[in-house]
Amino acid sequence: MRPSGRKLVELRPISIETGIMAHAEGSCLIRMGNTHVLCSASIEEKPPAFLRGTGQGWVTAEYGMLPRATHSRNRREAAAGKQSGRTQEIQRLIGRSLRAGVDRLALGERQIVIDCDVIQADGGTRCAAITGGWVALRLAVNKLLAARLVTSDPILDHVAAVSCGIYAGQPVLDLDYAEDSEAGTDGNFVMTGAGRLVEVQMSAEGSAFSRAEMVALLDLAEAGVAQLVEAQKAAVS
């Protein structure tokens, strides 16, 4: 029995509310159970310096967690004067993941910055940020298309992410914190709407995992991402 009472193959309740931020070109609040992440997309009409003159655009991300997103207060990283290694790793993952679904030539020489701010954390914040970040990106690109600032849609496919792990000896989908903190194996799977893998992060927290267990988690991830893609479609329709 999972602590939440969910079935092994069951996602947490998911909702994606769009138009949360009045001034952002695209925004949403994604809720996956008790993990809530505010995602926004900002269009900058110039690319990073290393892409000037190439005709290509760029998608990047910034990630942060509010001080009381967790059970105890975390000091703001701005007050500490630097980002933690964890924050840097997560925001690079979000940027890489979202770029996998974008034709950067079709985007043209501009940059879209995805900001992901965790309001409440209960496991899977990076996965929620990627899934919600894609919705914010899609809405921002829709505005470029409506204004005829791009001639073809630079979004190639959906991108979404979900966690899976071995909990109490069983492969389970979409770990919450109670499961994540006790899981023998923990994995994050980033996939496209077509089911292609963008990135897989897996590690054994206890005993090593088998090939069969890895395949079982991949199967769960495919099913979970398919459901998340449907939620994305509903949010941007």
Binding residues for phosphate: 86, 124-126
With beta carbons less than 8 A apart as the criterion, state whether 12 and 174 touch.
Answer: yes
Known binding-site residues equal 86, 124-126
The token duo for 22 is: 């009045």
Q: ∠ at Cα 201 (3, 158), nearest 5°?
A: 90
216/147 Cα distance (integer angstroms): 45
232/228 Cα distance (integer angstroms): 6
The token duo for 212 is: 């069969």
Q: How many CB atoms lie within 10 A of CB 147?
A: 8
- What are the residues facing 141 on neighbouring strands? none
99/58 Cα distance (integer angstroms): 7
With beta carbons less than 8 A apart as the criterion, state whether 41 and 140 touch.
Answer: yes
Query: E-strand spans in 7-158?
Result: 14-18, 26-32, 35-44, 58-65, 111-120
